[in-house]
Amino acid sequence: MRPKDEQKERAIRQKAIEMIAEQGLDGLSMQKLAKSAGVSPATLYIYYKDRDDLIVQVCVEETLRMFRATLENFDPQMSFGDGLRIQWLNRARFCMANKWSVAFTEQIRHSPYHSRAMELIGTEMSDVLGQFVRNNVVRGELVRMPFEAYWSIAFSPLYQLIKFHFQGRSFPNHEPFVLTEELLLQTMQLVLKALTP
């Protein structure tokens, strides 16, 4: 068996991310991936058992990268405003710097691979963020509500602004759009108003 080569492995991962981001899961075949990454098809099987294993492993790695970026300088004991601000800035920074990863994750999120990857990742992220929410509900800094409602209000505006930024405009015939930190923080303040008692 040939030894693993980190540079080849990185190239394989990056090309898999790009192919899935651009063409969806149906656009990824091991033959096309090998050609795109500049390796032989046999090389792929040094790193991954099969196509499914490749997709799940890449999903785990990209999700963990995003989780780590989100939690940078974050503490679940923070006030709601401070904690949400750090999360918004961290998430925005990660998304802006990792456009392919974001598009890849969106493709995977609506597939069975996402559930398999989340099982492997575990609950560390949800445990930390859950503690943050519970702490702030107890302190009276956050309205108690179902998780889905909280998530929709807390983060959907951020991700929609990022999508508009990537598209370069919000809707056809609208002016070009670039997300600035000023607009990001202004929007976050409105989200805070919606979530605080």
Same domain, 33 and 67: no
Q: Across residues 110-130, what is the average pLDDT?
A: 94
How many structural domains does the chain have?
2
Query: In which band, very low, low, confident or very high, does the pLDDT at 173 lie, cut at 50, 70 and 90?
Result: confident
117 and 38 assigned to the same domain: no
Q: Are 44 and 54 in contact (CB under 8 A)?
A: yes
Together in a domain, 82 and 14: no
Domain that holds residue 66: 55-195
Over residues 175-189, the mean pLDDT reads 96
**Do 99 and 136 sit in the same domain of this protein?**
yes
pLDDT category of residue 2 using cuts at 50, 70 and 90: low
DSSP labels, 72-102: TT--TTS-HHHHHHHHHHHHHHHHHH-HHHH
Provide the pLDDT for residue 12.
96
CA 9 to chain centre: 21
Mean pLDDT, rounded, of the chain? 94
Q: Are residues 106 and 20 in the same domain?
A: no
Is 80 exceeded by the pLDDT of residue 1? no
Which SS3 state, helix, strand or coil, does residue 1 take? Answer: coil
| pTM assigned to the model | 0.90
